[in-house]
Amino acid sequence: MSDFTSNFWSWFIVVPVVAGIIAMFVLNRWMTEPRRKETEKPKSMGHVWDEDLQELNNPLPRWWLNMFYITLVFGIGYLALYPGLGTFGGILGWTEKGQYEKEIAAADKQFNPLYEKYLKEDLKLLAANPEALKTGERLFVNYCTVCHGSDAGGGPGFPSLRDDDWLYGGDPQIIKASIMNGRTGAMPAWGAVLGPDGVANAAEYVLSLSGRSVNDTAAAAGKEKFQQLCVACHGADGKGNPAMGAPNLTDNVWLYGGSKKTIMETIDKGRSGRMPAHAEFLGEAKVHVLAAYVYSLSHPVEGDRGEKR
């Protein structure tokens, strides 16, 4: 509510809420007939069934009536203590953000010593620690599965973390840096430069780099364009450049798909991807454990019970 640029919306909430509470008090009082004397007969509401069955205006039991008033008083108290009336934050000053930060602080106080202990260990050794990997797996499930999948197998635009093909390199320290600082990758669009035929030829050449069956004439024409436009990132041999996050084109691992149609779309329109930085809200100690877990996915070791991770 505090983000609204006009006070109108705050009053738009305050007025109906306050008016509604007052109206409920009035209605509750109006609909309650004063208690009559024992000698008085209840008034008929004018509804009669089966000749003599009438609806009478008997007052509500006192306990039932009081329950209505109690709920209204509770509502007033709640709105006084907590947010609910427009921009008024409540006497207690409670906020969702404050509650979240309080819970996070309590969790950090309890678990940070464990993470700090792991932070002192070498990542490759930590990747062989079954207990650390269980902790890292829980972090992965909470923060990484939305993009990389619950099995870390990735998807179109999101790399698999289970193979040994890495855009920026698979060293555990580099993996940690990727998680800490994030990554931003961009493949420029070459459609306007190459034209439809040029895009198709370049795609034929890219396919040939991974040993696929292609049209040799088209691939030869595409190679010329590749040498002009693509070697700066992918290298003259097409094996990529980890320093720039440029993928290796000589294997059969594709970030967006390896069909000719998809490769042509990539060359024509370009691609952009972003890996968000996790350092600020996870902290280095948690990222350290998470990096060890990610590293372990492509470097399985024998666990304490002889299981492959």
What pLDDT digit, counting tens, does each position of 274-305 carry?
999 999 989 999 999 999 999 999 998 754 43
Q: What is the DSSP string of 52-95?
A: TEEEE-PPPPHHHHHHHHHHHHHHHHHHHHSS-BTTB--TT---
3-state SS class at 298: helix
Same domain as 282, residue 162? yes
Is residue 203 within 8 Å of residue 263, measured between CB atoms? Answer: yes
- 265: domain CATH number? 1.10.760.10
Give the whole-angstrom CA distance, residue 242 versus residue 228. 20
Same domain as 267, residue 125? no
Is residue 240 within 8 Å of residue 247, measured between CB atoms? Answer: yes
pLDDT tens digits, one per residue of 198-229 = 999 999 999 999 999 999 999 999 999 999 99
Give a yes or no: residue 308 inside a domain. Answer: no
Which residue in the block uniquely carries the two structure tokens 């952009």?
Answer: 272
Same domain as 248, residue 292? no
Same domain as 245, residue 197? yes
Count of domains for the chain: 3
Is residue 124 within 8 Å of residue 176, measured between CB atoms? Answer: no
What pLDDT shows up at residue 36? Answer: 56
Same domain as 176, residue 148? yes
Which residue in the block uniquely carries the two structure tokens 């996050």?
Answer: 245
Same domain as 196, residue 156? no
Q: What is the pTM of this model?
A: 0.71
Which residue in the block uniquely carries the two structure tokens 């983000």?
Answer: 3
**262-265: Cβ within 8 A, 24+ apart:** 263/203, 263/206, 263/207, 264/199, 264/200, 264/203
Same domain as 54, residue 13? yes
Give a yes or no: residue 97 inside a domain. Answer: no
Task: Count CA atoms within 13 Å of residue 233 on its CB side.
Answer: 15
pLDDT category at 182 given cuts 50, 70, 90 is: very high
Enumerate the β-bridge partners of residue 207: none
Same domain as 74, residue 14? yes
Q: Which of 47, 81, 115 is the last residue of a domain?
A: 81
Average pLDDT over residues 159-183: 95
Count Cβ atoms below 10 Å from residue 2 Cβ, excluding itself: 9
Give a yes or no: residue 89 inside a domain. Answer: no
Is residue 21 within 8 Å of residue 72, measured between CB atoms? Answer: yes
Same domain as 137, residue 64? no
Same domain as 114, residue 161? yes
Same domain as 281, residue 174? yes
Same domain as 74, residue 126? no
Give a yes or no: residue 196 inside a domain. Answer: yes
